[in-house]
Amino acid sequence: MTGICEGRVVVVTGAGRGLGRAHALAFAAEGAKVVVNDLGVGVDGAGGSGGPARAVADEIVAGGGTAVSHLGDIATAEGAASLVATAVDTFGRLDTLVNNAGFLRDRMLVNLGEDDWDAVMRVHLKGHFLPLKHAAAHWRAEAKGGGGTAARVVNTSSGAGLLGSVGQGNYAAAKAGIIGLTLVAAAELARYGVQVNAIAPAARTRMTEQTFAETMAAPAPGEFDAMSPSNVSPLVVWLGSADCAGVSGRVFEAEAGRITVMEGWRPGPTADKGARWTPVEAGGAVRKLLTEAEVPHPVYGMR
């Protein structure tokens, strides 16, 4: 290991399993002190247990690293505030926040209940906003107090947020919202030395193993495990380190051994009449413009 995060204090939400666990272990392996947050809920958000977070923290300590568990609900103001306080009170500082917590309530739109919509929006979008808000307030106070900072935030979006996903209207909307939040935070927090980026990972986790069972099966012994969550973590660790200076407001897709810079909405073909269109004129202009535009990628689940 390179020690790229030696001495940094890193918070990872949803770190009891899957991608979050892989991130926490990878940060610890690179010298970071890690706050392992997880409620230990089921894949649909039901139940809860402190076991997963404690187990990951214990695993880090057993391997010679430094970690502490945090069992608070980061989608509440109290839980998010205590998450930041745990890092600062235990280790004296906070350098990196990795927002990763989430669960699924998949339904087709006509069957999607309001509770399922609200629950997914709460854990993914609000669960990103509140830790980010409290961490940002801490870093702003540091900057105004004259302290230098190389703070980093890594948010977790999804291909569903970039392209859409059939049967996941709530999840896709939340993940798209995370990209918008990332762009705003990167712009607003730059003055305080905070860099904010997002990833759209693809890996074998509890949330994906049923949806993508065929493509995410474990490999034969000795073969590269293309869908291991650990493949995503090196990018997250780099984005959470001081070495990524100057990289902010970006979205990266990470899968297997591939890293892609995602390029989002930008102006394409344009028509300007210089006056108000009639509906028929507008329709004709749009049809012409669409012949000049790139064909969009298909929504996940469509063939």
pLDDT(121) > 70:
yes
The pLDDT confidence band at residue 221, using thresholds 50, 70 and 90, is confident
- pLDDT, position 34: 98
Q: Is position 85 within any domain?
A: yes
Percent composition of the chain: helix, strand, coil (DSSP 3-state, to 5): 45, 15, 40
The answer for residues whose C-beta is within 8 angstroms of residue 66's C-beta and 6 or more apart is: 28, 33, 34, 60, 91
Q: Is residue 269 situated within a structural domain?
A: no
Residue 273 lies in a domain: no
Do the Cβ atoms of 10 and 33 come closer than 8 Å?
Answer: yes
Q: Is 98 exposed, middle or buried (0-12, 13-18, 19+ CB in 10 A)?
A: buried
Predicted model pTM: 0.92
In a domain, 27, yes or no: yes
- The total domain count for the chain is 1
User: Would residue 293 count as lying in a domain?
Assistant: no
Judged by phi (left if over 0) then psi (alpha if -120 to 50, else beta), residue 142 lies in alpha
Instruction: Name the percent of the chain lying above pLDDT 90.
Output: 82
Kindly state whether residue 149 falls inside one of the protein's structural domains.
Answer: yes
pLDDT digits (tens, 9 = 90+) for 237-278: 999 999 999 999 999 999 999 999 999 999 999 999 999 999
Domain-located, residue 294: no
pLDDT of residue 219 exceeding 80, the answer is no
CB 257 within 8 A of CB 283: no
User: What's the start-to-end Cα distance of the chain, in Å?
Assistant: 42
Q: What is the CATH number of the domain that holds 147?
A: 3.40.50.720
Q: What is the mean pLDDT of residues 160-181?
A: 96
| 3-state secondary structure at position 6 | coil
Mean pLDDT along residues 17-36: 97
Mean pLDDT for the chain?
92
C-alpha 218/C-alpha 8 separation (Å) is: 33
pLDDT at 83 over 80: yes
Hey, which residues are catalytic here?
158, 171, 175
209: Cα within 13 Å, side-chain hemisphere = 10
CA pair distance 12, 134, nearest whole angstrom = 14
**Looking at residue 2, what is its pLDDT?**
82
Please check whether residue 283 lies inside any domain of the structure: no
Provide the residue range defining the domain that includes 187. Answer: 9-262
Note whether 151 and 194 are within 8 A (CB): yes
